[in-house]
Amino acid sequence: MPDYNTMELMICTAARELEDGATVGVGTGAPCAAAMLAQKVHSPNLLIMFEAGGVAPLIPEMPISVGDSRTTFKAVMASGMCEIMETACRGMLDYTFLGGAQIDMYGNLNSTRVGDDHQKPKVRFPGSGGANDFASFCWRMMVMTPQDSKRFVEKVSYCTSPGWLQGGDSRAKSGLPLEAGPYKIITNMAVMDFEEKSKRMRVIALNPGYSIKDVQDNCGFELLKADKIVENHPPTAEELHILRDVIDPYRYVIGR
């Protein structure tokens, strides 16, 4: 079994979710690495879009900004924010990867603030950026994040980007496009999906070396467990080679 770190494991797991011919809206860092890896291993026709306007680039190396020159390298179109988000709202963007300082059991994300006073927050984060938009519009939203009870909280102190909101049919009632929402949460310990009725986070796969207790101990709310929890495949030698030697040779992302 090849040696790998948790970032490499999460990126490889995420990449496998992106099938050929699908569309994905990505940001910088791990999401972009996952999309590039998918493109080079099993989904040559994966169509990558960046919120700033880059459509279907053949990314030469990791961008540092979702609007830098690499996001339109050999692209089919250099457009703008409205083009990308309107395409997503029209229902043509399948996947997106998002992150945040906090996530709750319904997949709601906080990337705005800590503290209750909105005008004078204890800690100010960037805010939504394009995250609320992608979370609202993309059919399947995924998150890659370390499993940590400070991150996986009972209630996000501020809901920047929508998950399944309060669970059940609350998202459908909110006015957000129907049937779109959180799909999978990929951590260093496990993969979670969302139970169909309650829309609560549910463990479906464990990474090699971790138990269900490890996952629960590092989560601030009670996780549901699938009837059959499978073991997640570790990264293959091919995946690791492409990730390390082609996509991120300077280890900007996988070195974290």
Partner 1 sequence: MEGIKQLKEVQTVDVIEQGVGEVFTDPDADKARAFFRTKSRKMEDKVMSVKEAVEKYIHDGDYLTIGGFGANRVPIAVCHEILRQGRKNLGFSGHTSTHDFQILCAGEVFDRCDVAYIVGLEARGLSPNARKYMETGKVKVTEWSNYAMSVRYKAAAAGVSFYPARNLMGTDTVKYSAGKIIECPFTKTKYVALPALYSDVAAIHVHEADKYGNCRVRGITVSDFDVARSTKRLIVTCERLISTDEIRRDPSHTVIPFWCVDAVCEVPYGSYPGNMLGEYFSDEEHLKEWMKVEKDPEAFKAFLDKNIYSCKNHFEYIAKNGGMEKMQLLRQKEMMFVGARK
**Contact set with partner 1 (CB under 8 A):** 27-29, 51-54, 60, 63-74, 78-82, 85, 89, 108, 112, 117-133, 136-137, 158-162, 165, 170-171, 174-177, 252
Q: How far is the CB of 17 from partner 1 (least distance, A)?
A: 22
> Which of residues 16 and 200 has its CB atom nearest to partner 1 in the complex?
200
196 noted as active-site residue: no
- Picking from 28, 21, 22, the residue whose alpha carbon sits closest to that of residue 129 is 28
> Which of residues 76 and 230 has its CB atom nearest to partner 1 in the complex?
76
Q: How far is the CB of 3 from partner 1 (least distance, A)?
A: 26
- Picking from 22, 74, 78, the residue whose alpha carbon sits closest to that of residue 50 is 78
The Cα-based distances of 223 to 55, 59, 99, 183, 245 in angstroms read: 37, 37, 19, 15, 37
> Which of residues 25 and 234 has its CB atom nearest to partner 1 in the complex?
25
Q: How far is the CB of 36 from partner 1 (least distance, A)?
A: 14
Q: What is the bridge-based pairing of β-strands 123-124 and 113-114?
A: antiparallel
Select which of 8, 17, 19, 51 is catalytic.
Answer: 51
- Picking from 151, 134, 180, the residue whose alpha carbon sits closest to that of residue 26 is 134
Positions marked catalytic? 51
